[in-house]
Amino acid sequence: MTGLFVAGTDTGVGKTFVASAVCRALRERGALVAGLKPFETGCDPVARDAAALERAAQSGLPIDLRCPFRFRLPLAPAAAAEREGRRTGGSVARAATLVRRIGEAMPVVVESAGGIQVPLEPRRTNLDLAAELGLPVLLVGRNSLGTINHTVLTLDALERRGLRLWAVVLSAARRSDPSGEDNARWIAAARRGRRPRIVVLPRSTRAEASRRLGRELALDRLVG
């Protein structure tokens, strides 16, 4: 199976924007691609992130394959399921099975629901889903104050699980933040001998982001 697992250091850091740009970049390279968000909350009633991924990927797959576990409340998936009286036991395994099935036919770009330690079911998290899939991880963080800590802790968690890192993308903050000039350098320094590839993504249109990420993330390597 070919593709990327797009994880976040937190919620609202630009995962969907980055994942959609990656889908578009792969499609523009001639690949059939599926943009998947197995778990999405805040679907009242539309799964907006999954819809954005599909607009970029244009896979034609039905929503129940692209986003099988949808919840109305804007909470962590396990918490939303509990509040809504729904069971999630085994959901990670079922989501992984669906992703692998789709991945037999085309590259997949799989977006996590929130940060890497967000619970998807009572005892399993986004980190467990990433481990089950075994895809390289594209980590997205916000290029603002606090991202050094969040990013380094997340990279440590990925490393402990033996997951391969593709790159880190620091997305533009919503407002001017002086830390944005230095965050990438300090994240790299904190990793010492294990310095990741870091792409700083400025404010840009979807088309601009697609071109930039396609080039800087070496996405040609995902196109067979």
Which of the following is catalytic: 15, 27, 37, 212? Answer: 37
15 flagged as catalytic: no
Residue identified by tokens 């310095």 is 195
Yes or no: say if 1 and 106 are a contact pair by the CB < 8 Å rule: no
Query: Could you tell me what percentage of the chain is helix, strand and coil, using 3-state DSSP and rounding each to the nearest 5?
Result: 45, 20, 35
Yes or no: say if 63 and 47 are a contact pair by the CB < 8 Å rule: yes
Yes or no: say if 96 and 133 are a contact pair by the CB < 8 Å rule: yes
Question: Comparing C-alpha atoms, which of 170, 178, 179 is closest to residue 203?
Answer: 170
**Residues with a known catalytic role:** 37
